[in-house]
Amino acid sequence: MQSAWIAGLIGGMLIGLSATLLLAVNGRIAGISGMVNGALTFAASERWRWWFLGGMVGGGALYEYGLAAQPTPSSTFAPWAMLVGGFLVGVGTRLGNGCTSGHGVCGLGRLSGRSLAAVLTFMTTAALTVFVTHHVLG
């Protein structure tokens, strides 16, 4: 259990480092929902976002198939949850202008009150949702 916390801390610091690099060199915020939305415009000026997203998936592969002591556990989870949950994540991050990385990692790093309000809100509704799905319904 404790090794998972240490791995979490190291992984989290790497994410912070990645956001630092992107801001210091390119002047951009490493928010993944914004990255996806910008990439989907297919504008030439947004092409760098595809490079970031490609790198992100590549980095995941590098970990999973290069470094991981054991494969990441694959949960058997209802596809409908992915469909409904994914759709709500798409709507919510577009409307609220960000997700865990944009509002969380970067927004909190900038001491943005707007991001803090967003983080507190989505953490609360996410925990309430899991409470309902795991303890009330399930």
Residues 84-103 that bind another protein (CB under 8 A): 84-97, 99-101, 103
Radius of gyration of the chain (CA): 17
What is the rounded end-to-end Cα distance, in angstroms, of the chain?
26
Minimum Å distance from CB 136 to another protein? 10
Residues touching another protein, count (CB under 8 A): 108
Minimum Å distance from CB 29 to another protein? 7
Contacting residue, 42, 69, 113, 137, with another protein by CB under 8 A: 113
| Contact string (CB under 8 A) for another protein, positions 23-62, x = contact | xxxxxxxx-xx-xxx--x------xxx-xxxxxxxxxxxx
Question: In angstroms, rounded to a whole number, what is the distance separating the alpha carbons of residues 56 and 84?
Answer: 24
Q: How far is CA 35 from the centre of its chain?
A: 11
Helix-helix angle 32-39:79-95, to 10 degrees: 90
